[in-house]
Amino acid sequence: MGNVAPNFMIMLIVSFALLRGNKEGSIIGIVAGLLHDLSFSMTVGPTAIIYGLIGYVCGTFNKNFYRENFILPFICTLCSSLFYSITCIFSFMLRGKLNIIFFMKSIAIPEMIYTITLSLIAYQITYLINEKLEMSERKTRNIF
C-alpha cells in the first residue's frame, strides 16, 4: 500500500461534474485527461476519453441531485475509480502484462480506498469553489 496514491483527477472531475453538469464535467474530464496523457503517457487521448466519459456520466446526475448530500459523490467516485481501474487492466492485458489478482490487490483496491476517502474532503472544497463561481456568474449576468 505504500506505492499507491489517490486519483485526484477523478475526485475533481466527479465533484465538478456533479455540481456543474455533464457538459462542463466532460470538458473538465477531457482537459484533465489530456494533461495526464501529455505528462505521463506515450499516447495522447485514451485517458482524455476515459475522464471525459466519467465527467459526462457523473454530470447527468446534476439535475436530480441535492448538493449538500455526500452519498452520491461517494458512489460516483467509487464507480469512476472502478471504471478507471478496469480500463487500466484492459490496457495492461493488451500489452500482455497482467496478473489481475496482483493488480487488484496491490494497486486498484488501495487506490480506490484512498480516492473515496479523500473525495469527501475534495467535494467539500469543490462545493465551496463552485458556490463562489456561481455567485460571480450571478453578478455578471444579473440573475437573482
Q: What is the pLDDT of residues 23-64, one digit of tens each?
A: 999 999 999 999 999 999 888 999 999 999 999 999 999 888
Residues ≥6 apart with Cβ < 8 Å to 32: 9, 12, 13, 48, 51
User: Is the predicted pLDDT of residue 1 greater than 60, yes or no?
Assistant: no
User: Is the predicted pLDDT of residue 96 greater than 90, yes or no?
Assistant: no
pTM given for the model: 0.88
Residue type at 37 in one-letter notation = D
Q: At what angle do helices 71-95 and 46-59 cross, to 10 degrees?
A: 160
Neighbours of 138 (CB within 10 A): 11
Which residue do the cell numbers 466527479 mark?
A: 14
Question: Widest CA span of the chain, in angstroms?
Answer: 57
Phi, psi values for residue 99, rounded to 5°: -115, 100
- How far apart (Å, rounded) are the C-alpha atoms in residues 69 and 88? 30
Tell me the three cell numbers of residue 68. Answer: 449538500
